[in-house]
Amino acid sequence: MAEIVSIEAALAEIEDGSKVMIGGFMAIGTPENLIDAMVEREIKDLTVIANDTGIPEQGIGKLIANKQIKKMIATHIGLNPETGRQMNEGELEVELIPQGTLVEQIRAAGAGLGGFLTPTGIGTVVEEGKEKIEVDGEEYLLELPMGAEIALVKAWKADKKGNLVYRKSARNFNPPMAMAADLVIVEAEEIVEVGEIDPDQVMTPAAFVDLIIGGEE
Taking only the tens place, the pLDDT of each residue in 126-143 is 999 999 999 999 999 999
Question: What CA–CA distance (Å, rounded) separates 54 from 26?
Answer: 5
- Residue 217 binned pLDDT confidence (cut-offs 50, 70, 90): very low
pLDDT at residue 56, as a whole number: 87
- Please report, for the chain, the start and end positions of each structural domain, with discontinuous segments joined by +: 3-113+146-214
Burial 36-74 (b: 16+ CB within 10 A, else e): ebbeeeebbebbbbbbbbbbeebbbbbbbbeebbeebbb
Q: List, for residues 5-56, the tens digit of each pLDDT value.
A: 999 999 999 999 999 999 999 999 999 999 999 999 999 999 999 999 999 8
For residue 171, pLDDT beyond 70: yes
For residue 159, pLDDT beyond 50: yes
pLDDT at residue 215, as a whole number: 58
Average pLDDT, the chain: 96
Q: List, for residues 83-118, the tens digit of each pLDDT value.
A: 999 999 999 999 999 999 999 999 999 999 999 999
pLDDT at residue 199, as a whole number: 96
For residue 216, pLDDT beyond 60: no
For residue 157, pLDDT beyond 60: yes
Confirm or reject CATH 3.90.180.10 for domain 3-113+146-214, answering yes or no. no
For residue 207, pLDDT beyond 90: yes
Sign of CA dihedral 196, 153, 99, 61: positive
